[in-house]
Amino acid sequence: MTDGIIIELHANPDREASEAEIQAIRKRLTSVGFLEETRIPPSSRGLSASGYTLGGRESSLVHHLVRHIVLDEQWTDGTTPEQYLADLRATVEDDSARFGVGKPPGNGAPLVYVFADNPVPHRRRGRRTEPSMFVLYGVADGVIITGHMVSGTDAVRKADDFRWLR
C-alpha cells in the first residue's frame, strides 16, 4: 500500500505529499530492514568489526555495518547490527527528517531518500562522524539499500528527477 503511494508521488511531481502520506512512508521505512543475504564484493571480504568477518556472502545489514565501522569510521567497533538498524530507523523517525523521491535510470521503481540530523548516540559515533544521516529505501525490493552519516544533502548523488516530497 505505502509503496504504491511512493510510486504515485513519483509519477506526479507537481503533487506534494500530505502529512498522512509522509507518516505512512515513515512507518513503512521503520518496519523494513536490508536484504537478508548478499554477495560481498571482493574488496570487502576479510573486513572485521563487531565480531563479524565478511566472507563471500553475508547479510546486507552486517556488510553495511562492518564497512561503516572499518572503512568510513562512522560507527565504533562493538556497534551491533541491531543498534545500527535502530540508528537508521531513528533517522527516519526524527523530527528533522526530510523525505525525497527519485528514480535513477535503470531502476524499476523509485527510491526514497531520507536526510535528518544525526541521531546516533555519541558513544557509538566513530572518528569520522558527520552532522547528518542519510537513509535510502528501494521500492522495488522493499528494503533499505543503505544508511550512513553525511555532511549534508549535497553530499549524496541523487536521481536526475529527485524532488522533495514537501
Of 122, 91, 104, 78, the C-alpha closest to 29 is 91
Domain holding 125, by residue range, is: 2-164
Q: Half-sphere exposure of residue 7, counting CA atoms within 13 Å on the CB side?
A: 10
Sort strands 57-58 and 98-102 into parallel, antiparallel or unpaired.
unpaired
pLDDT recorded at residue 166: 82
pLDDT digits (tens, 9 = 90+) for 88-131: 999 999 999 999 999 999 888 999 999 999 999 999 999 999 99
- Asked whether the predicted pLDDT for residue 155 surpasses 90, the reply is yes
> In which band, very low, low, confident or very high, does the pLDDT at 1 lie, cut at 50, 70 and 90?
confident
pLDDT digits (tens, 9 = 90+) for 26-84: 999 999 999 999 999 999 999 999 999 999 999 999 999 999 999 999 999 999 999 99
pLDDT recorded at residue 108: 87
Task: Report the domain count for the chain.
Answer: 1
Of 59, 21, 15, the C-alpha closest to 40 is 59
